[in-house]
Amino acid sequence: MTKNTASTAALSTLDLSTINELGEADVVIKHPVTGAPTGALVTLAGPEHPKRKQLIFTRTRKLRAKFQKSGKVQLDDPEDEEADGVSYLAACTLGWIGFSENGKEIPFSTQAAVDLYTRIGWLRAQINQALEDKENFIEVSAPG
């Protein structure tokens, strides 16, 4: 540490107790054209959620096994990659409210999420972006 860095560090510290990682977060879905909030809300598993971590570990093990078997990076068929991505998004979706089609409510299930994320690209993109945005899963609280 330099002298200037040390004196700056003494003036301000990062109180880690004021930053909390959330296991899950509610994400408001925006209209794909206007960007306005729609009223639909999706609950997503955060990066440290046990279910999401297990999904990532499973995917990583699968990729490593393929590589160890052949010694080469093997690329999957693009359709298989998309289906795998949709399955991952659906598995990271813990619930939702506010979705309907033709006036009929769409109750949450993992299979319903697979169906919607497969058919509706703009929704799939928003869910993917929300999962990647780590700030969705961090909460700041007052010290003490």
Per-residue model confidence as pLDDT tens digits over 91-140: 999 999 999 999 999 999 999 999 999 999 999 999 999 999 999 999 98
DSSP state, 9?
H
Higher per-residue pLDDT: 8 or 131? 131
Q: Per the domain annotation, does 109 fall within a domain?
A: yes
Spatial separation of the C-alpha atoms in residues 81 and 126, rounded to whole Å: 18
Q: Per the domain annotation, does 131 fall within a domain?
A: yes
What is residue 70's predicted lDDT score, i.e. its pLDDT? 77
Q: Per the domain annotation, does 16 fall within a domain?
A: no
CA neighbours within 13 Å on the CB side: how many for 133? 13
Q: Per the domain annotation, does 8 fall within a domain?
A: no
Residue 89 exposed, middle or buried by CB count within 10 Å (0-12, 13-18, 19+) = buried
Q: Per the domain annotation, does 29 fall within a domain?
A: yes
What is residue 98's predicted lDDT score, i.e. its pLDDT? 97
Structural domain range at position 131: 21-139
Q: 65 in helix, strand or coil?
A: helix
- Domain tally, the chain: 1
Q: Per the domain annotation, does 2 fall within a domain?
A: no
What is residue 2's predicted lDDT score, i.e. its pLDDT? 58
